[in-house]
Amino acid sequence: MLILTLVASLFVTLALGFYVLVGAPHQAINRAFAAFVGLMILWIAKDLAFWGFHDAGAEADWWATASFLIGIGVQFSLLLFSQVFPENNPPDWRRIGLYTLPLVALLPLLFRGMFWEYIGFHKAAGGEQFEVRLRPAAFVFGAYNYTILGLGVARLAGKYRQSRGTLRGQQVGAVLLGVAVTGVLVTIAYIILPLAGIYELMPYGSVFIVTGTLIYAYAIS
């Protein structure tokens, strides 16, 4: 069931990306959305590879590294989208580049496995059990991740206030709704519940992200 759900999520995301990009490939909005969708495809693919086909007792170092990398990429794609939508303005690459500077210090820690003590499956009384034991560096990276998300949301919220009551305002409002829905569901599945030792929703996190992608596509079209 999990594999079918992830495969379906993958195809839905592919279809959305193709639909939006082909509609106007020359527009910055559509290209920014395509970048977001590309990262979502990578996210779903790594979840499918790990949760669907992991070996017994498998460690999840590669999955965790990919999750951190793709996750921050998603936040930057939202920041990029917030700059170009809905006016179709060119992105401010210089400012985005400045926001990436903390990665110079954080990425070496990630690649050296200093974000966690252990991530993976281990044998338990009831069978296999997934477990995550994080180190402080992971929480620093998480705070940085949410900071980039907050910058994108703040920019979109400012545009919503300026264009409230217009068609553009409705479009920006739809994007903000998508961000809010996805952000809450992902935070619950990947952060709040795992901190309480509950990991059952983590394999289905991609489904929550697809929900937000559908709302983004609706706002653009």
The tens digit of pLDDT for each residue in 5-23 reads: 888 888 888 887 777 777 7
Average of pLDDT values for 124-132? 80
Quote the pLDDT of residue 80.
94
Residue bearing tokens 């020359």: 26
Mean of all residue pLDDT scores within the chain: 89
123 pLDDT higher than 80: no
For the segment 123-143, the average pLDDT, to the nearest whole number, is: 88
pLDDT at 119: 92
Is 61 within 8 Å of 119 (Cβ atoms)?
yes
Over pLDDT 90: what percentage of the chain? Answer: 49
Res. 209: pLDDT tops 90: no
- Reduce the DSSP state of residue 54 to 3 states and report it: coil
44-103 confidence digits (pLDDT tens): 999 999 998 887 777 899 999 999 999 999 999 999 999 998 888 888 999 999 999 999
Residue 140 CB contacts under 8 Å (≥ 6 apart), including other chains:
106
For residues 126-152, average pLDDT = 92
- Would the pLDDT of 192 be above 80? yes
In this prediction, residue 168 has a pLDDT band, given cuts at 50, 70 and 90, of confident
pLDDT band at 1 (very low <50, low <70, confident <90, very high): confident
Asked whether the predicted pLDDT for residue 127 surpasses 80, the reply is: no
Q: Would the pLDDT of 140 be above 80?
A: yes
Q: For the range 7-12, what are the long-range contacts, defined as Cβ-Cβ under 8 Å and sequence gap of 24 or more?
A: 7/48, 9/44, 9/206, 9/207, 9/209, 9/210, 10/41, 10/44, 10/45, 10/48, 10/206, 12/210, 12/213, 12/214
- The structure's pTM equals 0.91
**% the chain with pLDDT above 70:** 98
Length of the chain: 221
